[in-house]
């Protein structure tokens, strides 16, 4: 047997063995299994390396836990709310929300998403307004400032934010900053040094000296959270960078959605941050009362659940929440997302909604930032457009908002896109709001954005060049692992 034949045999046996691992041991979603098998089939050597780096399942589930006191407090609150649901039911401040008690109960029991009704919030669709509000909140902090961002840039807003945090750290305020290594791969090594010297603490999510060769590189912390004094929180799609202020020469205006929340919903955001922090850092932060000021007086009236999900969980909580919201719709569903790669359950739910006469409208960017993901997104639009869904391409700049609003009643804003990566691979967090005023405001924002969109009709979709259709069809086969 020649050397070439021996190498071919070895590679073939390796691919067969790896295929067996993918099929029988990983127990993945069927679509993801087929996608990985295609990679192994068409790239027999490179596919092995790609799978070794990107295909490994997250194995830190046992490490990823709350400290005991936080867990006990949350478990008691979940038990109390479950008892209320099972007996006399929840007393909703807005009686119209009683129709969504099954959605609330599902999020409570599966994602430990406690339901609170004493919240108030502000909605930001402009990065400049969001950061001005955030910096004012930072300046008013008395005890602690906790920040988690997927992307942090070494630019004007990035340096301004760190300077503000360093000033508060010198005043004795606890400052903790957690960031994702892949999202911040361009960040200089000494970027946070002035914050650390001022007394602040900084941690990196799943750090590695060779991040793109790390077996966990495929699992990223995509959350964006800020919690101030345990009573005020920021959550949404805006990271830290000048492009989020509309200063990127390629995209120009940046359309996003971010929330400022004041109320007991912030307690869950705090618990989530501390879980992520305790995983990423050497410090183990206990649940001091100052982090959860139970005696704080909140005068809001908005019902909110903080729903989180990630590869450390066996259930795709945010995906399930989206599906449940879609099934609850009777009048309309408005969705904004930069990436639209639905799994079968989301795609089927949307089809059923359209066929039931629900006005389903989807808004995506007119200009992509990641071409392969954009091509995959296009491959899913045809079957929905054919049924009657309306799709709009946002052309004013780049659309990065991750929102869904249903029937002028319920809505969701957060970090999770409508794609399989957000459902299964990234750590994400959304605020689900049960409030007419919030839903109607998000609806009016959506309708205002239509002024800057062009509609993608089914006729225009069908008339695309053949090469584009072929390219999108091929990329769709890999969409479960993009």
* Domain count along the chain: 3
How far apart, in whole angstroms, are the C-alpha atoms of residue 17 and residue 22?
A: 9
Is there a catalytic annotation at residue 143?
no
pLDDT at 146: 98
Q: Are residues 31 and 137 in the same domain?
A: no
Residue at a domain's end among 302, 327, 358:
302
Q: Are residues 15 and 89 in the same domain?
A: no
Residues, the chain: 482
Angle between helices 127-139 and 156-170 (to 10 degrees): 10
pLDDT at 48: 52
Residue at a domain's end among 279, 302, 325:
302
The CATH number of residue 223's host domain is 3.30.870.10
Q: Are residues 328 and 437 in the same domain?
A: yes
Buried b (16+ CB within 10 A) or exposed e, 327-352: ebbeebbbbbbbbbbbbeebeebbbe
Q: Residue 13: which domain range?
A: 3-54
Is there a catalytic annotation at residue 396?
no
Query: Are the C-beta atoms of residues 182 and 153 closer than 8 Å to each other?
Result: no
Catalytic residue among 146, 168, 222, 317: 222
The answer to whether residue 434 is domain-embedded is: yes
Q: Are residues 238 and 183 in the same domain?
A: yes
Q: Are residues 234 and 381 in the same domain?
A: no
The answer to whether residue 107 is domain-embedded is: no
Catalytic residue among 390, 400, 435, 449: 400
Catalytic residue among 146, 224, 258, 390: 224
Q: Are residues 159 and 293 in the same domain?
A: yes
Closest to 109 (Cα-Cα) out of 248, 390, 275, 317? 317
Q: Are residues 133 and 259 in the same domain?
A: yes
pLDDT at 250: 86
The answer to whether residue 103 is domain-embedded is: no
Catalytic residue among 407, 419, 435, 449: 407
Q: Are residues 149 and 240 in the same domain?
A: yes
pTM reported for the whole predicted model: 0.86
3-state SS of the chain is: CCHHHHHHHHHHHHHHHHHHHHHHHCCCCHHHHHHHHHHHHHCCCHHHHHHHHHCCCCCCCCCCCCCHHHHHHHHHHHHHHHHHHHCCCCCCCCHHHHHHHHHHHHHHHHHCCCCEEEEEEEEECCHHHHHHHHHHHHHCCCCEEEEEECCECCCHHHHHHHHHHHHHHHCCCEEEEEEECCCCCCCCCCCCHHHHHCCCEEEEECCCCCHHHCCCCCCCECCCEEEECCCEEEEECCCECHHHHCCECCCEEEECCEEEEECCHHHHHHHHHHHHHHHHCCCCCCCCHHHCCCCCCCCCCEEEEEEEECCCCCCCHHHHHHHHHHHHCCCEEEEECCCEECCHHHHHHHHHHHHCCCEEEEEEECCCCCHHHHHHHHHHHHHHHHHCCEEEEECCEEECCCEEEECCCEEEEECCCEEHHHHHHCEEEEEEEECHHHHHHHHHHHHHHHHHEEEECHHHHHCCCHHHHHHHHHHHCCHHHC
pLDDT along the chain (482 residues), means of 10: 63 60 51 56 55 51 54 69 73 90 93 94 97 98 98 98 98 97 91 98 79 58 97 98 93 96 96 91 82 89 96 89 98 97 94 98 88 77 94 96 98 95 92 98 98 95 81 63 52
Closest to 219 (Cα-Cα) out of 182, 187, 185? 182
The answer to whether residue 105 is domain-embedded is: no
Report the Cα 182 to chain-centroid distance in Å: 15
Catalytic residue among 256, 317, 402, 435: 402
pLDDT at 378: 82
Q: Are residues 203 and 236 in the same domain?
A: yes
Q: Are residues 296 and 325 in the same domain?
A: no
Catalytic residue among 126, 130, 168, 229: 229
Q: Are residues 197 and 279 in the same domain?
A: yes
The answer to whether residue 109 is domain-embedded is: no
Is there a catalytic annotation at residue 395?
no
The answer to whether residue 336 is domain-embedded is: yes
The answer to whether residue 309 is domain-embedded is: no
Is there a catalytic annotation at residue 229?
yes
User: In this structure, are strands 258-262 and 116-124 parallel, antiparallel, or unpaired?
Assistant: antiparallel
Is there a catalytic annotation at residue 402?
yes
Q: How many CA atoms within 13 Å lie on the side-chain side of 119?
A: 32
Q: Are residues 324 and 298 in the same domain?
A: no
Is there a catalytic annotation at residue 214?
no
The answer to whether residue 198 is domain-embedded is: yes
């Amino acid at each position: 047997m020649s050397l070439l034949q021996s190498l071919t045999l070895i590679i073939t046996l390796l691919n067969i063995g790896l295929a067996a691992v993918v099929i029988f041991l990983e127990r993945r979603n069927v679509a993801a299994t087929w996608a990985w098998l295609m990679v192994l089939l068409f790239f027999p050597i490179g596919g092995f390396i790609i799978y070794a780096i990107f295909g490994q399942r997250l194995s830190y589930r046992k490490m990823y836990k709350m400290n005991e006191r936080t867990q006990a407090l949350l478990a008691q609150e979940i038990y109390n709310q479950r008892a209320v649901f099972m007996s006399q039911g929840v007393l909703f401040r807005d009686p119209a929300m009683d129709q969504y008690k099954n959605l609330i109960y599902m999020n409570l029991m599966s994602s430990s998403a406690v339901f609170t009704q004493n919240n108030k919030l502000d909605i930001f669709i402009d990065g400049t307004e969001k950061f001005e509000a955030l910096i004012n909140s930072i300046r008013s902090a008395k005890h602690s400032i906790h920040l988690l961002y997927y992307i942090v840039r070494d630019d004007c807003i990035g340096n301004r934010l760190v300077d503000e945090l360093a000033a508060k750290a010198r005043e004795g305020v606890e400052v903790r900053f957690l960031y994702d290594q892949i999202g911040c791969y361009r960040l200089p090594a000494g970027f946070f040094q002035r914050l650390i010297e001022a007394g602040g603490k900084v941690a990196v999510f799943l750090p590695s000296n060779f991040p793109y060769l790390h077996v966990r590189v495929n699992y990223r912390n995509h959350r964006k959270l800020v919690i101030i004094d345990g009573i005020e929180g920021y959550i949404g799609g805006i990271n830290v960078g000048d492009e989020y202020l509309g200063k990127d020469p390629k995209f120009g205006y940046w359309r996003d959605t971010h929330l400022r929340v004041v109320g007991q919903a912030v307690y869950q955001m705090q618990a989530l941050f501390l879980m992520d922090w305790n995983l990423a850092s050497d410090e183990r932060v206990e649940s001091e009362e100052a982090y959860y000021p139970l005696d704080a007086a909140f005068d809001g009236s908005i019902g909110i659940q903080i729903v989180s999900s990630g590869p450390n969980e066996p259930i795709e909580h945010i995906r399930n929440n989206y599906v449940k919201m879609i099934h609850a719709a009777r009048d309309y569903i408005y969705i904004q997302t930069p990436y639209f790669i639905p799994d079968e359950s989301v795609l089927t739910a949307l089809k059923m909604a359209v066929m039931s006469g629900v006005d389903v409208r989807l808004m995506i960017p007119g200009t992509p930032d990641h071409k392969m993901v954009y091509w995959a997104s296009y491959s899913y639009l045809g079957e929905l457009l054919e049924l009657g869904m309306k799709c709009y391409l946002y052309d004013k700049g780049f659309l990065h908002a991750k929102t869904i609003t249903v029937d002028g009643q319920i809505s969701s804003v957060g970090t999770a896109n409508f794609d399989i990566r957000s459902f299964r691979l990234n750590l994400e967090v959304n605020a689900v709001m049960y409030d007419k005023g919030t839903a109607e405001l998000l609806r009016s924002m959506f309708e205002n954005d239509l002024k800057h969109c062009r509609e993608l009709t089914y006729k225009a979709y069908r008339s695309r060049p053949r090469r584009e259709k072929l390219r999108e069809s091929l990329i769709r086969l890999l969409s479960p692992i993009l």
